[in-house]
């Protein structure tokens, strides 16, 4: 792959993140050497995308463990538990954050005679979460390719790409794979107001890797679909409920409804770690509301009169009935999702 992007690295006990707030104009790195800096990076969206914040949280928990000089294992566990709750509060919607933290805490809760060995095992767990993400994305791409048939053009929203994961992306994995295999596939990327992840990030990483990408504004989706310009929709997601209801970037629900109207398949790409079998349906997913300034301003320029009210939910929930298939590294789930997700998850 040309123009390799390395969104997350861990080196010398520091987490090094490409600063996604500054892309595409500037490629700067943000270094985290404390759990507070990891919390900030997740909250302020230096790092973003469900799998990427999970991987960052794994390293964040390890950084916290390294900073603790507590001989008593129970006191150590208590501090790590508090750290996990703190980190988990950075963003509420993507389940990958709590998934990674739970995995780190499960190591802490094992029987340990030596805290040094416990810290080493935490390091291995953080690396495992990272490596599993890379593998999962690759497999998602392969499984998705089997669904696309002779589709020539797909539409995506937000950025479920390399930047939102650690390699390949979830929704974009199939785009990179198609390119590798010489298959003709072009991509429409919705700009994704208010944070413009599609315009700034998806266009950046796809074009850099030689993929044919066209940015559209979010309001153009129905027009394109009515003109038969889109063969399939592929999006990532932040949390899938056990009935298949799926939270993803605000605007995904609109796209799913329009796609159904025009008979266009709606595919969700996600690792198993994004499925939350503990919740019955999408009504249980907490939707993050972000600062109004994301709506009132675009890149520092005020576009709405001062004092006017705005509403800024960051995600919405796509109804399971509007989803054609959910594609994971372990296989493809089709309706009825309350049955098929259970089988994949097992
Ligand atoms: O607010 P963001 O940019 O973190 O939202 C990201 C998304 O909605 C992605 O589509 C989702 O996390 C999947 S990333 C593989």
Q: Are residues 92 and 166 in the same domain?
A: no
- Residue 217: count other Cβ atoms within 10 Å of its Cβ: 12
Residue 3 pLDDT: 53
Domain boundary residue among 135, 162, 190? Answer: 135
CATH number at 278 reads 3.40.50.10470
Same domain for 187 and 88? no
- Give the N- to C-terminal CA distance of the chain in Å, as an integer: 34
Distance, CA of 254 to CA of 304 (rounded, Å): 23
Ligand 1 within 6 A of 94 CB? Answer: yes
DSSP-derived letter for residue 305 is -
Q: Is residue 24 located within the same domain as residue 142? A: no
Catalytic residue among 19, 75, 150, 238: 238
Are 194 and 118 contained in the same domain? no
Output the CA 158–ligand 1 centroid distance in Å: 6
Residue 48 near ligand 1, beta carbon < 6 Å: yes
Is 200 in the same domain as 324? yes
- Tell whether 191 is covered by a domain: yes
What's the CA-to-centroid distance between 261 and ligand 1, angstroms?
Answer: 25
Are residue 197 and residue 95 in the same domain, yes or no? no
* pTM higher than the cut 0.75: yes
Structural domain ending residue among the three candidates 96, 116, 135: 135
What is the per-residue pLDDT for 4?
Answer: 76
Q: Do both 131 and 246 map to the same domain?
A: no
- Out of 110, 135, 160, a domain closes at 135
> What spacing in Å lies between the alpha carbon of 117 and ligand 1's midpoint?
35
- How many domains is the chain built from? 2
Predicted pLDDT of residue 216: 98
The best mutation among 161, 170, 197, 270 to test binding of ligand 1, ranked by most ligand atoms within 8 Å of the C-beta, falls on: 197
Angle of the 35-43 helix axis to the 50-67 helix axis, nearest 10 = 160
If you average pLDDT over every residue of the chain, what do you get?
96
Q: For residue 170, which atom of ligand 1 is closest to its CA?
A: 15
Residue 255 CB contacts under 8 Å (≥ 6 apart), including other chains: 155, 157, 190, 221, 233, 235, 266
Same domain, 79 and 195: no
* Residue 200 beta carbon below 6 angstroms from any ligand 1 atom: no
Per-residue pLDDT, 6 = 87
Instruction: Mark whether 238 is an active-site residue.
Output: yes
Using the atom order of ligand 1, give the atom closest to the CA of residue 315: 8
Q: Helix, strand or coil for residue 121? A: helix
Is residue 1, in this structure, part of any structural domain at all? no
In a domain, 2, yes or no: no
Other residues' Cβ atoms within 10 Å of the Cβ of residue 301: 7
What pLDDT, on a 0 to 100 scale, did the predictor assign at position 346?
86
Residue 51: its pLDDT value, please? 95
**What is d(CA 323, CA 245) in angstroms, rounded to the nearest whole number?**
8
Pocket probe for ligand 1: among 165, 236, 252, the residue whose CB has the most ligand atoms within 8 Å is 236
Q: Are 184 and 152 in contact (CB under 8 A)?
A: yes
Domain that holds residue 246: 138-345
Q: Encoding tokens for residue 309? A: 């009210």
Ranges of residues in the chain with a pLDDT under 70 are 1-3
Asked if residue 99 and residue 151 are part of one domain, the reply reads no
Q: Do 318 and 253 touch, CB atoms closer than 8 A?
A: yes
Cis peptide before 194 (omega within 30 of 0): yes
Residue in 8, 49, 156, 274 to alter for ligand 1 test, most ligand atoms within 8 A of Cβ: 49
β partners of residue 317 = 247
């Amino acid at each position: 792959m040309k123009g390799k992007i390395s969104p997350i690295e861990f080196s010398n006990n520091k987490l090094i993140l490409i600063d996604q707030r500054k892309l595409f104009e500037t490629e700067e790195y943000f270094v985290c050497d404390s759990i507070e800096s990891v919390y900030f990076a997740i909250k302020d969206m230096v790092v973003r995308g469900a799998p990427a914040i999970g991987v960052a949280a794994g390293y964040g928990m390890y950084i916290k463990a390294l900073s603790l000089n507590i001989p008593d294992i129970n006191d150590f566990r208590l501090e790590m538990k508090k750290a996990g709750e703190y980190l988990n509060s950075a963003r509420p919607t993507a389940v990958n954050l709590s998934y990674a933290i739970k995995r780190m805490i499960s190591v802490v809760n094992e029987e340990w005679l030596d805290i040094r060995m416990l810290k080493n095992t935490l390091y291995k767990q953080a690396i495992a979460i990272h490596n599993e993400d890379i593998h999962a994305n690759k497999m998602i791409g392969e499984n998705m390719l089997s669904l696309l048939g002779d589709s020539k053009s797909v539409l995506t929203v937000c950025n479920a790409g390399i930047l939102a994961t650690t390699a390949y992306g979830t929704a974009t994995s199939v785009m990179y794979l198609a390119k590798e295999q010489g298959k003709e596939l072009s991509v429409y990327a919705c700009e994704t107001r208010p944070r413009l992840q599609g315009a700034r990030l998806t266009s950046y990483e796809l074009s850099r890797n030689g993929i044919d990408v066209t940015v559209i504004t979010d309001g153009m989706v129905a027009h394109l679909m009515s003109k038969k310009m889109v063969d399939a929709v592929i999006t990532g997601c932040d949390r899938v409920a056990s009935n298949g209801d799926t939270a993803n970037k605000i605007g995904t629900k609109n796209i799913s409804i329009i796609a159904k109207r025009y008979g266009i398949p709606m595919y969700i790409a996600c690792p198993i770690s994004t499925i939350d079998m503990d919740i019955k349906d999408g009504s249980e997913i907490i939707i993050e509301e972000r600062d109004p300034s994301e709506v009132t301003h675009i890149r520092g320029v005020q576009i709405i009169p001062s004092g006017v009210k705005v509403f800024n939910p960051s995600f919405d929930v796509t109804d399971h009935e509007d989803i054609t298939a959910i594609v994971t590294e372990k296989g493809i789930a089709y309706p009825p999702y309350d049955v098929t997700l259970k089988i994949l998850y097992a």
